[in-house]
Amino acid sequence: MKKKIALILAGIMMMSCFAVGCSSSGGETTAATTADTTGESGSEAAGETTASDSERTTFIVGFDASFPPYGYQEDGEYVGFDLDLAQEVCDRNGWELVKTPIDWDAKDMELDSGAIDCIWNGFTMNGREDAYTWSDPYVDNSQVFVVSKDSGITSPSELAGKIVLVQKDSSALAALNDEENTELQELKNSFSDLVEVPEYESALLELEAGSADAVAMDIGVAKAKQKNNDNIVILDGEDDIIASEQYGIGFKLGNEELRDQVQATLDEMAADGTFQEIAEKWDLTDSICLGE
């Protein structure tokens, strides 16, 4: 009887060892597989955000994928001025660029969680100076109203009683909500409604459909949209501008090491003319301000 018990116990131990061995092997395979990253990805590459810059292999850029000419989707690929700049920065540092589209109103969560290394996509610095570790400003920008060509609206004062759309958590919304700007408060209060939308694409579709009368948005995006749509008009006269601002790259507060490395590369690109060449490609030479 004792021999039978011993044999049974020995068999159980052998099966346990075999199971542990198989499990260990499977774990190694999974780790090797998930370590691979692609050029366009989600937060699976987020582990790189905790690496020191000397060990960095990827650079994960969070961006709004409906924000031309800075970052958007065209023919199934993510393209734009900011993404071209980021690619050049990566090429010069030996990093792989990971383009990660994000919901704009969730950008802080993505950055704080380490899912992305930075927010780089027409990101307004003004009013957010203490919320992020910033690069130097590289683009001058304005917020404007866009209306339909056949609306007859020629100035913001004519938006009284009208429906105006604006992107959630955008600079245009922040400007219109600025209680210290009494002129803008009077203008906003004259609207029949100020409606927040997730992104500009849907806002412009509503404008064209006639369900809205105007969209408050970045002038760079408005001009990019106007190139392919001559039915929209930008109210960009000197007295029509909602607010002026500057774009920068936003890193997690305190991440000065990565900010400094990216900034040094951008300064190098400005010095050798590459920054200007990329701006010319995207018709933004009149807007860039890096080094000024």
If you write DSSP's letter for every residue of the chain in order, what string do you get?
-HHHHHHHHHHHHHHHHHHHHHHHHHHHHHHHHHT---SB--GGGGGGGGS-TTT--EEEEEE-TEETTTEEEETTEEE-HHHHHHHHHHHHHTPEEEEEE--GGGHHHHHHHTS-SEEEEEEE-TT-TTTSEE----EEEEEEEEEEGGG---SGGGGTT-EEEEETT-HHHHHHT-TT-HHHHHHHHHSSEEEEES-HHHHHHHHHHTS-SEEEEEHHHHHHHHHT-TTEEEE-STTT--EEEEEEEEE-TT-HHHHHHHHHHHHHHHHHTHHHHHHHHTT-TTTB-TT-
Residues 110, 246: Cα–Cα separation, whole Å: 22
Is 80 exceeded by the pLDDT of residue 96?
yes
Q: Which of 6-10, 171-175, 226-230, 260-264 bottoms out in mean pLDDT, i.e. has the lowest? A: 6-10
Q: Which domains does the chain have, with CATH numbers?
A: 59-140+246-281 (3.40.190.10), 142-244 (3.40.190.10)
pLDDT recorded at residue 208: 93
- Higher pLDDT: 43 or 119? It is 119
Report whether pLDDT(84) > 50. Answer: yes
Can you read off the two tokens belonging to residue 286?
Answer: 């009149």
pLDDT value of residue 181: 94
pLDDT at position 292: 74
Bigger pLDDT: 133 vs 199: 133
What does the pLDDT read at residue 7?
Answer: 42
Tens digit of pLDDT for each residue in 231-270? 999 999 999 999 999 999 999 999 999 999 999 999 999 9
Cβ pair 164, 193 in contact under 8 A: yes
When pLDDT is averaged across residues 49-76 and rounded to a whole number, the result is 87
Q: Considering the chain, what percentage of its residues have pLDDT values greater than 90? A: 77
Asked if residues 63 and 100 have their Cβ atoms less than 8 Å apart, the reply is yes
83 pLDDT exceeds 80? yes
